[in-house]
């Protein structure tokens, strides 16, 4: 389904594609996915684990991904990496406002917000800028925006090498190759599942430009560490000890910055959500929800 919301793009409105799972009266859990990823990157089985624990799940496509509105413009990535992000089409604050706009449109006053990778950046920004809309915060395989922590390992940078893919087969092959570099070395690899989701994502909406716009939005948004230190929200930080794309130092820094945050570092976990951990993730998140609902 898609729903129109007000957006921080002048006076325009944008469409946000979303799915709502479980009992609409159950505690709402808003799932926010990472850079270039779509709502289907939240595995169906993981969502079912959350629903099975009495939670309502809302997953959605960020702007510039999947079936949500795609914007125009080509920011200067090289300049942004060098410190000049003035070409950014938008920031993480705008993406956080999109998520809050979705909650508005669905009639949800406050939600438990769960973000993975860049989605963790967005979830943190919601907590910082829209504190009254968030009941709890879960940040998975994410970081604080401090470029001294959470940086990719050298081998992970290979997934960004070469020209962007242009066709469905190339997209699928690139996704599988990337997974083999950054996926969880300590858990069984579902390469067929990776390929299937990559193909579905291509069919739902392929836009390399959107990936660049989102990436520059991250670079334009700066370090959240100082603001996170003043945050008073029940928080959970989950990170893989073997994450090559966002080093585990990013998760540790996030937990250290948020007073009272619970830190869970999982040996063998990389930059993905392996099926063997879905029950553990869901149980830990549900426990945070239960504590926060009291």
Active site residues: 117, 243, 271
**DSSP per residue, 98-123:** HHHHHHHHHT-S-EEEEEETHHHHHH
The neighbour count for residue 12, using CB atoms within 10 Å, is 10
Name the 3-class secondary structure at 68: coil
Q: What are phi and psi of 178, to 5 degrees?
A: -65, -40
Alpha carbons within 13 A on the beta-carbon side of 29: 31
Phi first, then psi: what are they for 104, rounded to 5°?
-55, -50
Could you tell me the CA-to-CA distances from 154 to 9, 35, 159, 181, 238 in Å, in that order?
A: 36, 19, 10, 11, 22
Residue with tokens 């509105």: 69
Helix (H, G, I), strand (E, B) or coil at 294: coil
Alpha helices in 143-265 (DSSP H): 168-182, 191-204, 208-220, 225-229, 248-257
Provide the CA 148 distance to its chain's centre, in angstroms: 20
The sign of the dihedral angle between the CA atoms of 70, 204, 279, 243 is negative
Task: Work out whether the CA dihedral 21, 41, 61, 35 comes out positive or negative.
Answer: positive
- Smallest Cα–Cα separation from 255: which of 245, 265, 243, 270? 265
């Amino acid at each position: 389904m898609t729903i129109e919301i007000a957006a921080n793009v002048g006076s325009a409105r944008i469409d946000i594609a979303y799915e709502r799972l479980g009992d609409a009266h159950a505690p709402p859990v808003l799932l926010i996915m990472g850079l270039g990823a779509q709502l289907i990157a939240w595995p169906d089985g993981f969502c079912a684990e959350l629903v099975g624990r009495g939670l309502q799940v809302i997953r959605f496509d960020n702007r510039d991904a999947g079936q949500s509105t795609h914007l125009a413009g080509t920011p200067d990535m090289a300049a942004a990496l060098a410190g000049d992000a003035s070409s950014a089409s938008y920031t993480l604050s705008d993406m956080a406002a999109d998520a809050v706009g979705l909650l508005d449109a669905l009639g949800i006053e406050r939600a438990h917000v769960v973000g993975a990778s860049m989605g963790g950046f967005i979830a943190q920004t919601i907590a910082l800028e829209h504190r009254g809309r968030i009941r709890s915060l879960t940040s998975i395989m994410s970081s604080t925006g401090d470029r001294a922590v959470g940086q990719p390992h050298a081998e992970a940078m290979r997934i960004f090498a070469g020209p962007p893919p242009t066709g469905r087969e190339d997209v699928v092959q690139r996704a599988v190759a990337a997974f083999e570099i950054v996926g969880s070395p300590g858990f069984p690899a579902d390469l067929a599942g990776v390929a299937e989701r990559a193909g579905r994502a291509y069919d739902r909406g392929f836009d390399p430009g959107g990936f660049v716009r989102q990436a520059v939005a991250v670079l334009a948004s700066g370090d959240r560490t100082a603001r996170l230190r003043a945050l008073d929200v029940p928080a959970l930080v989950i990170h893989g000890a073997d994450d090559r794309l966002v080093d585990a130092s990013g998760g540790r820094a996030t937990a250290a910055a948020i007073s009272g945050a619970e830190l869970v570092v999982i040996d063998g976990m990389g930059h993905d959500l392996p099926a063997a951990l879905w029950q553990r993730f869901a149980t830990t998140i549900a426990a945070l929800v239960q504590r926060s609902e009291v």
